[in-house]
C-alpha cells in the first residue's frame, strides 16, 4: 500500500519544499492549512501550491480554543504577542487529528532547525512533537538528517538519505530545490503573522483583558487606529479608503459604523457590550479629530448598525483635543 502523509502547508517556501521532497519519494501527500484571521501564510498561495502539486488540501479555520494560547501560552511569547511554540503545537495537533481521520502514516512540516530563535531550537522541536502527542511521527524533511530518525524513517516508509540537513536562517538550499522543481507559487519569507507585530499584539491583549471570547471577534483588529473608550467599548478608525471599506466588511452584526456624508473624514467602527450614545459621540469626535475639521465646531456624523445599513441615524461629535484622543489611543 502507498505511504500516506499529512503535511502542514503555510504557503511559504519551507513547507512547499517539504511537500516537494515527500512527493519526490512517491509518498501520497495530503496537506492541512490552519487559517488565521490575521494571517501567517497567504490562503491564495496555499491553494495555488496544493493545485500545483495536485494534492488534497484541508483548510482548518482557527477556533476559539486558540484564545487560551493567546492568553497564557505554556512556552511564552516571542518578541511581540506571538506564542510560536504553542502555536506550532496547536497546528501539529490539528494535522494529527487529520492524520488519524484519513489513516495517514505520519505528519511532516517545513520547520528548519535553528531558523527561528524562539520556536525552532532543537528543544522546541521536541516540545512540539511530544506535546502534540505524535512522538516519532513528526518528520521535518528539511532538517531530518540532523535529528533522530523518526518512525517512518526507521520503518523504511521514508528514505532518510534523500532528506536534508539544513540548519539556520539561509534559504539558499530551499530556493535551489524550488527552482529545480519549477515551484513559484510560495509566498516570500517574513511578515504575514500580525501576532509578531507589537501594535497588533497590544490590541489582542487589550481585547482579551476585556472579555473577548470568540476568535472571530479579533479578525477586525488588524485594521485602522485602535481606541479603548471604556471597559466595554473600543473604536477602530480607518486610515485610508481600503481600511474604511474593510471595516465594513469585517464588522460583526452588532457593531456600529460611523461615517459622515457631509464632512469628509474616515470611517469608524464601534464595538461595545453596552452601547451608549456617548460612545457614538466620542467615535464621531475621533473621526473629527482625524479630519480637516479638527478643533472646529462639532460635526454631524451618520451611523448605522452593521446588520441594518438602511437604518441610518445622525450623531453630533464631541470635540476632542489631543490629550483626550491620546488617552484613548492604543496604537
Q: Is 32 in the site for ligand SF4 (CB under 6 A)?
A: no
The residue written with cell numbers 533522530 in the block is 148
Spell out the residues 6+ positions from residue 296 whose beta carbon is closer than 8 angstroms to its own.
Answer: 288, 319
Q: Is 84 in the site for ligand SF4 (CB under 6 A)?
A: yes
The residue written with cell numbers 451611523 in the block is 303
Q: Is 40 in the site for ligand SF4 (CB under 6 A)?
A: yes
Contact letters (x/-) for ligand SF4, 159-198, by CB under 6 A? ----------------------------------x-xx--
Q: What are phi and psi of 261, to 5 degrees?
A: -100, 0
Alpha helix ranges (H) inside the chain? 13-24, 43-53, 66-71, 84-102, 122-131, 151-154, 172-181, 198-209, 241-250, 277-289, 322-328
Q: Is 82 in the site for ligand SF4 (CB under 6 A)?
A: yes
Alpha carbons 158 and 179: distance in angstroms, whole number: 23
Q: Is 256 in the site for ligand SF4 (CB under 6 A)?
A: no
- Which residue lies nearer to ligand SF4 by CB, 33 or 246? 33
Alpha carbons 100 and 6: distance in angstroms, whole number: 10
In the bound complex, what is the minimum distance in angstroms from residue 187's beta carbon to ligand SF4?
Answer: 13
Q: Is 67 in the site for ligand SF4 (CB under 6 A)?
A: no
**Using the rule CB under 6 A, which residue among 88, 93, 203, 259 binds ligand SF4?**
88
Percent helix / strand / coil, the chain, rounded to 5: 40, 20, 45
Q: Nine-digit cell at 80?
A: 511581540
Burial 226-243 (b: 16+ CB within 10 A, else e): bbbbeeebbbbbbeeeeb
In the bound complex, what is the minimum distance in angstroms from residue 36's beta carbon to ligand SF4?
Answer: 6
* Binding window for ligand SF4 (CB under 6 A); candidates: 47-55, 81-89, 176-184, 270-278: 81-89
In the bound complex, what is the minimum distance in angstroms from residue 127's beta carbon to ligand SF4?
Answer: 13
Q: Is 284 in the site for ligand SF4 (CB under 6 A)?
A: no
**Using the rule CB under 6 A, which residue among 13, 87, 142, 319 binds ligand SF4?**
87
Contacts with ligand SF4 by CB under 6 A lie at 36, 40, 82-84, 87-88, 193, 195-196
Amino acid at each position: 500500500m502507498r505511504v500516506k502523509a499529512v503535511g502542514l502547508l503555510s504557503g511559504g517556501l519551507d513547507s512547499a519544499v517539504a511537500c516537494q521532497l515527500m512527493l519526490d519519494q512517491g509518498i501520497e501527500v495530503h496537506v492541512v492549512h490552519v487559517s488565521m484571521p490575521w494571517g501567517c501564510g497567504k490562503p491564495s498561495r496555499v491553494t495555488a501550491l496544493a493545485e500545483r502539486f495536485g494534492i488534497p488540501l484541508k483548510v482548518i479555520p482557527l477556533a476559539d480554543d486558540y484564545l487560551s494560547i493567546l492568553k497564557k501560552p505554556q512556552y511564552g511569547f516571542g518578541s511581540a504577542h506571538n506564542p510560536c511554540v504553542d502555536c506550532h503545537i496547536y497546528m501539529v495537533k490539528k494535522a494529527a487529528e487529520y492524520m488519524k481521520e484519513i489513516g495517514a502514516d505520519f505528519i511532516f512540516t517545513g520547520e528548519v532547525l535553528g531558523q527561528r530563535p524562539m520556536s525552532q531550537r532543537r528543544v522546541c522541536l521536541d516540545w512540539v512533537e511530544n506535546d502534540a502527542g505524535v512522538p516519532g511521527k513528526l518528520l521535518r524533511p528539511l532538517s531530518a538528517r540532523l535529528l533522530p530518525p523518526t518512525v517512518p524513517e526507521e520503518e523504511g516508509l521514508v528514505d532518510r538519505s534523500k532528506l536534508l540537513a539544513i540548519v539556520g536562517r539561509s534559504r539558499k538550499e530551499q530556493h535551489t530545490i524550488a527552482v529545480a522543481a519549477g515551484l513559484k507559487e510560495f509566498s516570500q519569507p517574513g511578515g504575514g503573522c500580525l501576532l509578531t507585530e507589537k501594535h497588533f499584539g497590544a490590541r489582542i491583549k487589550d481585547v482579551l483583558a476585556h472579555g473577548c471570547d470568540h476568535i472571530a471577534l479579533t479578525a477586525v483588529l488588524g485594521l485602522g487606529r485602535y481606541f479603548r473608550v471604556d471597559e466595554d467599548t473600543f473604536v477602530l478608525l480607518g486610515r485610508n479608503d481600503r481600511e474604511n471599506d474593510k471595516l465594513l466588511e469585517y464588522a460583526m452584526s452588532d457593531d456600529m459604523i460611523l461615517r459622515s456624508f457631509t464632512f469628509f473624514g474616515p470611517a469608524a467602527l464601534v464595538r461595545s457590550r453596552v452601547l451608549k450614545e456617548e460612545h457614538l459621540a466620542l467615535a464621531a469626535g475621533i473621526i473629527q479629530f482625524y479630519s480637516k475639521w479638527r478643533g472646529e465646531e462639532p460635526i454631524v456624523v451618520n451611523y448605522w448598525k452593521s446588520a441594518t445599513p438602511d437604518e441610518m441615524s445622525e450623531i453630533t461629535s464631541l470635540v476632542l483635543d489631543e490629550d483626550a484622543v491620546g488617552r484613548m489611543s492604543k496604537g
